[in-house]
């Protein structure tokens, strides 16, 4: 296979935490790669997989937490994406409501990518509480223009939770520990700073 022969890649699987600042910072470029390469995005919301070595931010040593802020500062400037370094509602009380809402949107055929971006932006750019169902209802109404209450109710069903649990199971089986992790074919790319390699993989240049 030469560098000019692309892989038969139809989708990029996106395993990510809905509250991850790195997933938020990476989403615009990810969407552009999908558009330019003619592939779809399969969103698979998860949380950090601790069984594989993932460590939640507030459980990391202080030095790592401090450096986390340094890197966020660098990347928000580099990407020119608005990001509050100390959002009022982060770390979130729970991410399951928001994550399951994105799953529900995908199952119903809605634009789950647009909804996810709006939720991520609400947390990181607009200081909103994405663990609050009223906040989520307002976001659904403004982005999807549908029955927000119905979608929220659906997001709390066993059908949706089964997908959430499968995402977590598959992530652990794949060896994923942190988010975002992008999966192209059988290869993992951890972190939004690996998106150039995601695009190269699509072209079989890695």
**Residues 42 and 11: beta-carbon distance below 8 Å:** yes
pTM of the model: 0.92
6 is a domain residue: no
* Mean pLDDT, residues 179-194 taken together: 96
What number of CA atoms fall less than 13 Å from residue 141's CA on the CB side? 8
Residue 92, in any domain of the structure: yes
- Assess whether 155 carries a catalytic annotation: no
2: in domain: no
- Tell me whether residue 5 is in a domain: no
Q: Is 69 a member of any domain?
A: yes
102 within a domain of the structure (yes/no):
yes
- CATH code of residue 40: 3.40.30.10
CB 146 within 8 A of CB 129: no
The predicted-structure confidence for 35-84, as pLDDT tens digits, reads as follows 999 999 999 999 999 999 888 888 899 999 999 999 999 999 999 999 99
Please answer whether residues 189 and 201 qualify as being in contact, where contact means their C-beta atoms are separated by less than 8 angstroms.
yes
Find the domain containing 141 and state its range.
11-202
Place of tokens 């939770």: 161
Instruction: Scan for tokens 């919301």, then name that residue.
Output: 45
Of residues 19, 20, 116, 155, which has the active-site annotation? 20
Classify residue 22: in a domain, yes or no: yes
Whether the CB-CB separation of 168 and 17 falls below 8 Å is answered with no
Q: Is residue 1 part of a domain?
A: no
Beta strands in 39-180 (DSSP E): 40-45
Q: How many domains does the chain have?
A: 1
- pLDDT at position 10 is 87
Token representation of residue 136: 């989520």
DSSP state of 193: G
């Amino acid at each position: 296979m030469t560098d000019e022969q692309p892989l038969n890649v139809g989708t990029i699987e996106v395993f990510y935490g809905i509250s991850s600042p790195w997933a938020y910072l990476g989403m615009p470029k990810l969407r552009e790669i999908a558009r330019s390469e003619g592939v779809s995005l399969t969103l698979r919301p998860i949380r950090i997989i601790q069984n594989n070595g993932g460590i939640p931010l507030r459980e990391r040593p202080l030095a790592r937490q401090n450096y986390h802020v340094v890197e966020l500062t660098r990347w928000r400037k580099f990407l020119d994406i608005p990001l509050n370094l100390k959002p009022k509602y982060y770390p979130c009380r729970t991410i399951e409501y928001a994550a399951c809402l994105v799953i529900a949107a995908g199952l119903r055929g809605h634009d789950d990518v647009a909804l996810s971006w709006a939720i991520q932006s609400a947390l990181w750019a607009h200081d909103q509480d994405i663990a609050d169902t009223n906040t989520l209802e307002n976001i659904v109404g403004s982005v999807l223009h549908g029955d927000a209450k119905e979608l929220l109710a659906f997001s709390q069903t066993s059908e949706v939770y089964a997908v959430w649990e499968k995402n977590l199971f598959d992530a652990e089986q794949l060896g994923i520990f942190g988010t975002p992790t992008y999966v192209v074919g059988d290869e993992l790319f951890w972190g939004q700073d690996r998106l150039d390699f995601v695009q190269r993989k699509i072209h079989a240049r890695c």
